[in-house]
Amino acid sequence: MRSCLFKVLCMGPIPTHFSFIMDGNRRYAKKMDMGEGAGHRAGFFALVSVLKYCYEVGVKYISVYAFSIDNFKRRPEEVKTIMDLILEKTEGLLEEGSIADQYGVRVYFVGNLKLLSEQVRIAAEKVMEATAHNTRCVLLICIAYTSCDEIVNSVRECCKDKMEVVNEHSAIQLVDIEKHMYMGVAPDPDILLRSSGEKRLSNYQLWQTTHCTLYSPTALWPEISLLHVVWGILKFQRSYAYFEKKKKML
């Protein structure tokens, strides 16, 4: 049934890059009368399903907002629970039969990784190294990430680069800034889905979403299903001609 549905969808353009803000895990836990940690775990299962649907339909790049720099302001116990879950699932990506293995996914951890604990950072680096040879699909896990921090980092790296090669005609160009963006390893997203019906981007991919369809289904992240992925792709297809025209004008 799903493969028939995907065959029909593939008659139109498929987004190259689908981005997700996974909002609503805590509200889900409250709604289902679960512990907070259980909400984040349920969110992880939803993520795995969404990744499978996207890779099966032909989306090459997927990015997810796993943990914002602003999320460090949460209660220390909650931050620890989330980091422990991230560590567990990151290490899981190294195992045989993991989703990275199954779908040939190259994984990037994107963000200010210096803000993470050494354990999580080392695990992330191991996964990036282990999956570096995969070429079928790409997963960008935005962790310790905000757009403003990304812009600051890019400006810093541009200035350091220019310091090394200084001549009076050498000004920083837009292409230099974009080269140093954390998200520079992937094309700009074509569609961004934020669950829970919230209408803001919360400091996520603000630079990259100039020509990106924004979609905010009211479902909480653990409730996100195949239907939402399909609807997102249909919305992208409806706006495809408009954005292609916009991109050509640049």
CB neighbours (10 Å) of residue 3? 8
Closest approach of another protein to the CB of residue 208, in Å: 9
Q: Is 34 helix (H, G, I), strand (E, B) or coil?
A: coil
Q: Position of tokens 């990015």?
A: 63
Q: Per-residue x/- mask for another protein, residues 90 to 129, rule CB under 8 A? A: ----------------------------------------
Q: Per-residue x/- mask for another protein, residues 20 to 49, rule CB under 8 A? A: ------------------------------
Question: 63 phi and psi, to 5 degrees?
Answer: -125, 145
Closest approach of another protein to the CB of residue 137, in Å: 23
190 is catalytic: no
Give 107's contacts (C-beta < 8 A, 6+ positions apart): 93, 100, 127, 128, 131, 138, 139, 141
Token duo for residue 234: 């249909």
108 strand-pairing partners = 140
Run of H or E including 148 = helix 147-164
If binding is defined by CB under 8 A, does position 207 make contact with another protein? yes
Which whole-number Å values give the CA distances from 133 to 35, 68, 177, 179, 234, in the listed order? 38, 28, 27, 22, 32
If binding is defined by CB under 8 A, does position 200 make contact with another protein? yes
Give 73's contacts (C-beta < 8 A, 6+ positions apart): none
From the list 35-43, 105-113, 137-145, 202-210, the region that binds another protein by CB under 8 A is: 202-210
Nearest CB to another protein, comparing residues 64 and 212? 212
Distance CA 184, CA 179 (A): 6
If binding is defined by CB under 8 A, does position 11 make contact with another protein? yes
If binding is defined by CB under 8 A, does position 174 make contact with another protein? yes
From the list 53-61, 103-111, 127-135, 230-238, the region that binds another protein by CB under 8 A is: 230-238
Which residues would be at the binding site for another protein (CB under 8 A)? 7-12, 68-71, 73-74, 146-149, 151-153, 155-156, 158-160, 162-163, 166, 171-174, 177, 199-203, 206-207, 209-215, 234, 237-239, 242-243, 246, 249
